Structure 1
Amino acid sequence: MTPPGASPIHRLVSLGTVVVDLVTFVPALPEQGGDVFASGGALVPGGGYTAMAAARRAGLPTIHAGTTGTGPFGDLARAALAAAGIETAVEPVPAVDTGLCLVLVEPTGERTFVTLPGAEGRMEPAMLTRLSLAPTDAVLLSGYGLAHPVTGQAILAVLAGLPAGATLVVDPGPLGHELDPAVRGSLFARADWWTCNAREAILLTGEADPTAASGVLAERLASDRSAATGQGNMPRAPGHAVVRLGAAGCLLAVSGRPPVLVSAVPASVISTNGAGDAHTGALIAALAAGRSPIPALRQANESAREFLRSREPLPRTRGSRRRRV
């Protein structure tokens, strides 16, 4: 069940940034200079934590190769990692706390972020001396980490030394289109899986339609990987581009083939926060279990749906409604 040129997956190593989410429910986003009352709020582990927790729940050994801080948010993040059975490879950063992400959830379930960076942006290459990667690792990279100058350099150093058989999964995140084009190029030249939502795919490609965008991403993976192998690197299996569509499921695009819709069963939720990360973690776990791409994505769709349904609902503003996803 393992594609040619890739190794089986025995472990997930995430270089994604872990932050603490302050999730709030608002009747609408405030206008410039305005204010709104939130109907409820909670501090929960977020960012890269959600993908790792989803993979670990599915039985895949998981390690966090990122930084947390020394403060109340760092304590919360590390406690959540430990409770989920996720190992850590990097010591906490002294005198800096873990970052905070303000999540504004509208009545439709759509979420908007305001992030205050912290220790997750302070990871230096020397901090990863304890990290040893194997060809049977799946390595998850996030555009959030690459957006931080210091952490980004550490991640690129890991990418340069990645074992040939390791599976690289890239989630560019909402800021992926703002990364240096040379950095994006290095990701496309090595990624086995590229996973993002429709908005991110459109911003990365300039295409107005998610289906067309998924095809462009797959072709970019193929062309950049081909150029890299021409420079003497080991040939690898074709890249896979996944574009998440919310209630509709997701698209799978492989170069030279038309994109395929992998449909999902809609669910009523009050917030879509964390759904994409849960989808990614579940996908990696399904691949590690030996599932081929389309069955793996079906499982990821279902896992993301269950993740959203299992989230403890916070009080909502009057008149808010659940969103079908």
Structure 2
Amino acid sequence: MDRLVSFGTVVVDVLSFVSNLPERGGDVFASGGTLKAGGGFIAMAAARREGLPTVHAGTTGTGPFGDLARARLAAAGIQTVLAALPGMDTGLCLVLVEPSGERTFVTLPGAEGQFEPALLGQVPLRTTDAVYLSGYGLVHPVTRRAILAALTELPGPATLVVDPGPLGHDLDPSHLAALFTRADWFSCNAREATLLTGHTRAVEAAAALAVRLDPDGVRGSGQTPRPGYAVVRVGAEGCILAVTGRPPVRVAAIPATVPSTNGAGDAHTGALIAALSAGRHPMAALRYANGAALSFLRPSHP
């Protein structure tokens, strides 16, 4: 892999640090907050920070939030290939961060959900690409059609990395099946893994996800078999790696305290892709990603 091409949707995070979530009909004051590029941006920025050439294959809007998103992409050294969509702005994500670091989202969609399949011609894919897909893109009907079309056009040797996101379990089963059939890497957190598999133990959920991965099913016979890799992130405990046909293993995290876990999973995935592209063994790449994700999050103090 020598390039990351991300179809992950980029939004603007409205980040607020709160003492607790408000009750229904109530209100709480935030102790701090900021506007940041979020969503698919974080995985791209983490990969680019590690030196991997990165392309944003997605749409942004022409309003102030679209301007902010493109400015952050440019500042991070991420290449954009699609022009901003006139008449609409990039979407917002209200992020409420509790003292434990846990985050809760409310998302207002925008231009990122309007990636027309006709635009795919402007995103040439190479056999040496790592392609990143997020379940968020499949939530939007227009962008979903583009992503499903991109799956059918993805070169066989290219590496597909999928993060289902918090809403992945609600996706149409046929769309999820398309992701599992083609994905080389499937990365999610423990909550998402439980909702996708029904297993409450992260080790069992990781193993169940690995069983569903069949990247060689679409490559046909005659190809050298390649295993599927399922990663389940378990917060302060690190992550669990399950490889097709092998028992799951735990990859320990580096002890640390961060003020917010917002973007932790995305940063982990981006750093993982960069580490794999540098030739690291999967276990070594995950150990590296565990540390790189923490390093990426430290600037987010309120």
- Shorter-chain TM-score bucket reads over 0.9
Q: CA RMSD in A?
A: 1.3
1:160, 1:128 → 2: CA distance?
12
Alignment of 1:192 onto 2:184: yes
Tell me the distance in 2 between the aligned counterparts of 1:167 and 1:226: 11
Contact 2:186 2:229 in 1 (8 A): yes
Q: Is the 8 A contact 1:141 1:169 kept in 2?
A: yes
Between 1 and 2, higher relative CO (CA 8 Å, sep ≥ 6) is seen in 1
SS where residue 127 of structure 1 aligns? Answer: helix
TM-score by length of 2: 0.97
In 2, Cα distance between the equivalents of 1:236 and 1:50?
31
- Which residue identity does 2:144 align to in structure 1? G
Q: Which amino acid aligns with 2:44?
A: M
Aligned to 1:123: 115
Q: Secondary structure at the match of 1:252?
A: strand
1:84 equivalent to 2:85? Answer no
3-state SS in 1 of match to 2:269: helix
Q: Secondary structure at the match of 1:270?
A: coil
Specify the alignment match of 1:290 in structure 2: 279
Matches of 2:217 and 2:127 in 1, distance apart?
22
State the 4+ residue runs in structure 1 displaced beyond 6 angstroms.
none
1:41 aligns with 2:30: no
1:29 partnered with 2:10: no
What is the rounded CA distance, in whole Å, between the counterparts of 1:238 and 1:159 in structure 2?
18
Identity %: 67
SS in structure 1 opposite 2:70? helix
2:232 is matched with: 243
* Gap runs ≥5 in structure 2: none
CA distance in structure 2 between the aligned counterparts of 1:182 and 1:76, rounded to whole angstroms: 35
Of 135, 138, 158 in structure 2, the residue corresponding to residue 166 of structure 1 is: 158
- Work out whether residues 262 and 298 of structure 1, in 8 Å CA contact, stay in contact via their aligned partners in 2: yes
Distance 2:222 2:85 in 1: 35
- Aligned partners of 2:216 and 2:226 also within 8 Å: no
Q: C-alpha deviations, 1:185-227, integer Å up to 9, x for none?
A: 01111100000000000000011111100000001114xx465
User: What does the per-residue CA deviation read over 1:132-169, in whole Å, with 9 as the maximum and x for residues that have no partner?
Assistant: 10100000000000110000100111111000100000
Q: Secondary structure at the match of 1:189?
A: helix
2:145 pairs, out of 144, 153, 156, with 153
Instruction: Tell me which of 270, 276, 279 is aligned to 2:268.
Output: 279
Change (3 A) 1:288 1:24: same
**Which amino acid in structure 1 is aligned with residue 129 of structure 2?**
D
Contact 2:15–2:97 (CA under 8 A) maintained in structure 1: yes
Q: 2:96·2:104 contact (CA, 8 Å) conserved in 1? A: yes
Residues 267, 309 of structure 1: 8 Å contact kept = no
- The counterpart of 1:75, out of the listed 67, 74, 77, is 67
Q: 2:46 aligns with which of 54, 59, 64?
A: 54
Partner of 1:217: 209
CA distances 1:50-102 after superposition (whole Å, capped 9, x unpaired): 10001001110000000000000000000000011100111111110000000
Secondary structure of residue in 2 paired with 1:129:
helix
Q: What is the number of residues matched between the two proteins?
A: 302
In the superposition, the TM-score normalised over structure 1's length comes to 0.91
Unpaired segments of 5 or more residues in structure 1? 1-8, 315-325
Contact 1:90–1:128 at 8 Å: present in 2 too? no
CA distance in 2, matches of 1:233, 1:97: 47
